[in-house]
Amino acid sequence: MKLIYAPTSPYSRKVRVLLAETGQSDDIEMAQIFATPVDTPDEVQAANPMGKIPSLVREEGTSLYDSRVICQFLDERADAGLYPAGSRWEVMTLEATADGILDAAILMVYERRIRPPQFVYPEWEEAQWVKVARAVQAVNDRWMSHLAGPLTMGHIAVACALGYLDFRHPDRNWRKGCDALDDWYAVFSERDSMKATVPPA
């Protein structure tokens, strides 16, 4: 199998952290690419008609895409239990919350990086940050008991989302009013899987 990924993509990072945590990193060929929404390599389009990453190209069967699909496939492949039956819906909801944070945070990046300067819409950009801040606060207020428990995909997804906020939006200070989540992330980010997947500056 081959994982098509970008080193700065937080969705790719989720998959790479999962691979490291479940001992599957050596099983997967890593195909690093660089792409933007307006410049998509042919290899990416061949694996995913939407032209998004990550994509997991399998020897047999269709390629898998969307990080949540890939993560569930790899979790089942390793029998790792990152989506435990007793809390599966909670884990999936927490992962969806983390991915929602990423969706909004990435749109903010594209607003400045992709859109011509004369068309940048600051009010829309700020509205995306409101979504991010609201979701981060919700994780801090409602999900710390889950994050204090055994490792699940929810932990990985939240950590990758917070890492992306530090990477792309360091001046926004997601930590304000979220002391419990800040303390948790400080510990979780020291895991070998997280250190090995820090995006390049």
* Residue type, position 20, single letter: A
Domains of the chain (ranges, CATH numbers): 2-78 (3.40.30.10), 85-192 (1.20.1050.10)
Q: Name residue, tokens 């970008």.
A: 6
Rounded distance between C-alpha atoms, residue 31 and residue 196, angstroms: 16
Helix ranges restricted to H, the chain: 10-21, 42-47, 67-78, 88-113, 122-142, 144-147, 153-168, 179-188, 192-195
pTM, two decimal places: 0.96
pLDDT tens track, the chain, 201 positions: 999 999 999 999 999 999 999 999 999 999 999 888 888 898 999 999 999 999 999 998 899 999 999 999 999 999 999 999 999 999 999 999 999 999 999 999 999 999 999 999 999 999 999 999 999 999 999 999 999 999 999 999 999 999 999 999 999 999 999 999 999 999 999 999 999 999 998
